[in-house]
């Protein structure tokens, strides 16, 4: 039975769900339920015959498959805090080409050895830069097709992993990543079009929370985003913050909706995590010609300054994928082993790689200490913190070398 005349219930339901509740009551929806603390919500869901797709203790919630017509009945339960739509999350790549740019790696003497970086993305292709001179893909989990063997049917995940942790083996070191000896954990939650539901991203975050000690995950890199709703009820931001509190450095893309203000995407809206915008460094070593990429999203987020930091994100070269590889055929040489892309998707793993170097040098450091070291040593190029945060990342100064 529909119960839509109660204004109190309206406040517990995402506005995105209200219209289809009226027009498609017999159709199924995927929603995210926030449960009130210490309640017996699972028992109520079972009694209502509602399908639980994921249990998400990371945000004290559930992902549900439920008819639109039952949403108001669900909202009437005292155990329910809020019901959110399963929003679409997309990669934060702006443009792509086959042009080859310059290497941006700073040779610090540290290479990320012993540090695991997790990525939630489109998957990973077993490129030579990840499996030679030794295999560094330490775990792969597929939330899209439930395959066991690593693959990437889009290419985005492999590219960003290469920016952070590619060995450069195929290019004789020319295109190695920032932390070329770091281990890689890839969680495929985005499909071959580079999109996915926030529920799958949250399930991947839950996997990180459940396995971070076993896999030695110290960093999570998120080159993805979606429009944020209410900051206090933003599921992706909540998930990212739960991981941060557990000691995992979470680095997220600011988004590619610039140059307008107030365009930071979630989970980058979180005040705790490191949110990364993009600069165009013109592929030169001279910082004087650097400029903020026009596409890079701007803050603020409410009263919070965002992004926190900016990094090169235009015409960066990294790993190319064989998107037809499904994990069943042997690794083969690509006609072009590397490609060039732009976006805050690119700048994000650069900062994640820098965090791996810092953690190798200072393994006892907390996420807050990593963030402070990165932000305090940045170089400003504008007068607007809601465009560049503290400025361009300076790996050398952050490492104090």
Write the pLDDT tens digit of every residue in 359-385. Answer: 999 999 999 999 999 999 999 999 899
146 is catalytic: no
Domain match, 187 and 269 both:
yes
Looking at the chain, the whole-number percentage of residues with pLDDT higher than 90 is 74
Domain match, 63 and 99 both:
no
308 is catalytic: no
Distance CA 235, CA 230 (A): 9
Predicted confidence (pLDDT) at residue 331 exceeds the cutoff of 70 = no
Distance CA 14, CA 31 (A): 9
Task: Supply the mean pLDDT for the chain.
Answer: 89
Between the alpha carbon of residue 34 and those of residues 31, 117, 354, 383, the distances in Å are 10, 28, 34, 40
For position 282, what pLDDT does the model report?
Answer: 82
Packed helices 367-376 and 344-361: angle between N→C axes, nearest 10 degrees: 110
Residue 26 — pLDDT band, cuts 50, 70, 90?
A: confident
Within a domain: residue 20? Answer: yes
Distance CA 75, CA 212 (A): 34
Within a domain: residue 2? Answer: no
Active-site annotation holder among 257, 342, 345, 398: 345
Cis preceding linkage at 211, omega within 30:
no
Domain match, 311 and 390 both:
yes
For position 166, what pLDDT does the model report?
Answer: 96
For position 3, what pLDDT does the model report?
Answer: 45
Domain match, 201 and 236 both:
yes
Total domains present in the chain = 2
Residue recorded with tokens 């999203």:
297
Higher pLDDT, 108 or 185: 185
Copy the structure tokens of residue 132. Answer: 């030679």
Domain match, 257 and 116 both:
yes
Give per-residue pLDDT as tens, 246-303.
Answer: 999 999 999 999 999 999 999 999 999 999 999 998 877 777 788 999 999 999 999 9
Active-site annotation holder among 14, 86, 116, 121: 121
CA nearest neighbour of 180 among 125, 119, 126, 114: 114
Residue 147, class by beta-carbon neighbours within 10 Å (0-12 exposed, 13-18 middle, 19+ buried)? middle
Higher pLDDT, 99 or 215: 215
Its sign, for the CA torsion 324, 327, 330, 335, is positive
Domain match, 78 and 95 both:
no
Domain match, 63 and 168 both:
no
121 is catalytic: yes
Predicted confidence (pLDDT) at residue 101 exceeds the cutoff of 60 = no
Lowest mean pLDDT among 95-109, 173-187, 329-343: 95-109
Active-site annotation holder among 72, 108, 142, 156: 156
Contact 125, 319 (CB under 8 A): yes
Within a domain: residue 1? Answer: no
What is the H or E stretch that residue 90 is in?
strand 88-91
Higher pLDDT, 61 or 108: 61
For position 2, what pLDDT does the model report?
Answer: 44
Residue 183 — pLDDT band, cuts 50, 70, 90?
A: very high
Predicted confidence (pLDDT) at residue 396 exceeds the cutoff of 90 = no
For position 65, what pLDDT does the model report?
Answer: 95
Domain match, 124 and 17 both:
no
Instruction: Give the range of the structural domain holding residue 44, as residue numbers without chain letter.
Output: 7-86
Residue 97 — pLDDT band, cuts 50, 70, 90?
A: very low
Within a domain: residue 235? Answer: yes
DSSP lists the bridge partners of residue 96 as 341
Domain match, 81 and 131 both:
no
Distance CA 138, CA 199 (A): 24
Residue 379, helix vs strand vs coil: strand
CATH value at residue 193: 3.40.50.200
């Amino acid at each position: 039975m529909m119960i839509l005349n109660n204004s109190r219930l309206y406040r517990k339901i995402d506005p995105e769900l209200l219209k289809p509740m009226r027009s498609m009551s017999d159709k199924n929806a995927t929603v995210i339920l926030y449960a009130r603390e210490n309640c017996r919500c699972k028992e109520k869901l079972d009694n209502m015959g509602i399908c639980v797709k994921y249990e998400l203790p990371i945000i004290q919630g559930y992902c549900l498959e439920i008819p639109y017509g039952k949403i108001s009945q669900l909202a009437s339960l005292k155990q329910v805090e809020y019901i959110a739509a399963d929003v679409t999350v997309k990669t934060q790549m702006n443009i792509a080409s086959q042009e080859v740019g310059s290497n941006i790696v700073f040779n610090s003497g540290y290479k990320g050895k012993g540090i695991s970086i997790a990525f939630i993305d489109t998957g990973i292709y077993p490129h030579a830069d990840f499996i030679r001179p030794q295999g560094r893909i330490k775990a792969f989990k597929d939330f899209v097709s439930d395959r066991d063997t690593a693959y990437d049917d889009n290419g985005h995940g492999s590219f960003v992993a290469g920016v952070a942790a590619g060995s450069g083996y195929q290019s004789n070191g020319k295109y190695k990543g920032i932390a070329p000896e770091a281990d890689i954990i890839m969680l495929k939650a985005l499909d071959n079009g580079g999109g996915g539901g926030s529920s799958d991203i949250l399930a991947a975050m839950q996997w990180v929370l459940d396995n971070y000690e076993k896999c030695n995950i110290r960093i999570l890199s998120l080159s993805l985003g979606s429009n944020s709703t209410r900051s206090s009820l933003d599921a992706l931001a909540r998930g990212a913050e739960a991981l941060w509190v557990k000691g995992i450095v979470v680095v997220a893309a600011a988004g590619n909706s610039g140059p307008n203000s107030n365009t930071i995407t979630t989970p980058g809206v979180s005040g705790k995590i490191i949110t990364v915008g993009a600069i165009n460094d013109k592929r030169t070593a001279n910082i004087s010609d650097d400029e903020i990429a026009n596409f890079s999203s701007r803050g603020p987020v409410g009263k919070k300054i965002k992004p926190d930091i900016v990094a090169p994100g235009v015409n960066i070269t990294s790993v190319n994928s064989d998107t037809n590889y499904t994990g069943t055929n042997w690794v083969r040489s690509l006609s072009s082993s590397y490609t060039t892309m732009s976006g805050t998707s690119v700048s994000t793993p650069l900062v994640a790689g820098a965090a791996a170097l810092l953690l190798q040098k200072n393994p006892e450091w907390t996420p807050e200490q990593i963030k402070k070291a990165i932000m305090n040593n940045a170089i400003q190029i504008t007068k607007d913190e809601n465009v560049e945060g503290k400025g361009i990342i300076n790996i050398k100064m952050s490492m104090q070398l």
